[in-house]
Amino acid sequence: MKNISCAKLQALAFVALAAVLTSCSLTNVKNFEYSHNHDGKLFYISENLRNSFSIPDFPADDSDEYYQDFKVLKGWQEQRTEEQCFAANSQEYSSMQELFPAYREFFNSLSDSDKYFLYRVYEDAHTINITVKSKFTRPRPFHSDPSLEPCANIGRIKGYAYPSGHATMSGVFEKMMLVIDPDNEKGIKDAAQRAGMYRVLAGLHHPSDIKAGYALGADIYEALKKNSEFNKKLNSLHEKYVKFKSAKTKTNIK
C-alpha cells in the first residue's frame, strides 16, 4: 500500500465531505411537501424580526365591525354551494401553486431548487403568521356562534382565526407574482382576493381576519425583500417566466 501524505488525506476527506453535504442539500430540496406541519424556522427573514410584526387588535365583541363580520358569515352560509366549498378546499395548504392555479404549468416546470425557494418563503410566512396568531388567540367563527357551521367537506379545523393564514400567504404571494408576471396585475390581485373570500365563504374566518392577513402578508413581503438572496431568486423567476411564456406562445403559433 502506497503512503499517502497527510495533506492528500485531508484533501480527499474534504472532497468526500463536500459530496455528502451536496447530496444532503439536494435531498432536502427534493423531499419536501406542503402540509399543516411547519418547522417553525425562518430562512429568508432575519430571526431578530420574528416578534417584530404587529397588526391592530381584532374587533371587540360589541363593535359594529364584529356584528358585520357575522352578518357576512351567515349570508355566505345561506347561499354557498357545494362547488364553492370544493373550490375553497382546493386551496387547503395555501401554497403559491394552489392560490394561483392559472400559473400551475409554470410552477411545475421549475427546477427543484426553485420549488424549494417557494417552499421556504411559504414556511417563513407561515411561521410569522402563527407567531402573530398566538398573540391574539381569536377563536374561529363557529366557536363564537353555534349557528355557524363550516363547509361540510372541510369541517371544524383547528387553530386560531386572527389573522388568516391563507390571507397572509395571499398577501405575500400576490406581491411576488406581480414581480414574476407584472403584465397580469388584475388577474393576480383577483386571485389573491378570491383566496381570502373562500375562507369566509367556508365559514373558517371572519372578514376582519382576512383584512388583517392581507396587511400582515404585505409586511412580511417587505421583510423578505431585505434579503438579497430572496430578491435574486425572485427576479430569476421573473426571467424564467418570460422565457416560459415566450416558448408557450411559439408553441401555440405552430
Q: What pLDDT does residue 24 have?
A: 40
pLDDT at 30 over 60: no
Question: Helices 64-79 and 207-224, interaxial angle, to 10°?
Answer: 100
Provide the residue type at 77 as one letter: Q
3-class secondary structure per residue, 43-73: CCCCHHHCCCCCCCCCCCCCCHHHHHHHHHH
Q: What pLDDT does residue 199 have?
A: 98
Per-residue pLDDT tens digits for 162-205: 999 999 999 999 999 999 999 999 999 999 999 999 999 999 99
pTM flag (> 0.75): yes
Q: How far is CA 208 from CA 116, 148, 196, 213, 232, in A?
A: 32, 17, 10, 8, 34
**Which positions ≥6 away from 18 have C-beta within 8 Å?**
none
Per-residue pLDDT tens digits for 58-82: 999 999 999 999 999 999 999 999 9
Other C-beta atoms closer than 10 Å to the C-beta of 176 total 20
Q: What pLDDT does residue 1 have?
A: 44
pLDDT at 17 over 50: no
Q: How far is CA 97 from CA 63, 181, 195, in A?
A: 37, 14, 12
Residue 211 or residue 249, greater confidence? 211
Q: What pLDDT does residue 32 have?
A: 62
* Mean of pLDDT values over 102-115: 96
Which residue pairs, CB below 8 angstroms and at least 24 apart, start in 244-249?
244/106, 244/109, 245/106, 245/181
Residue 234 or residue 29, greater confidence? 234
pLDDT at 27 over 60: no
Provide the residue type at 198 as one letter: Y
Residue 228 or residue 39, greater confidence? 228
Per-residue pLDDT tens digits for 117-173: 999 999 999 999 999 999 999 999 999 999 999 999 999 999 999 999 999 999 999
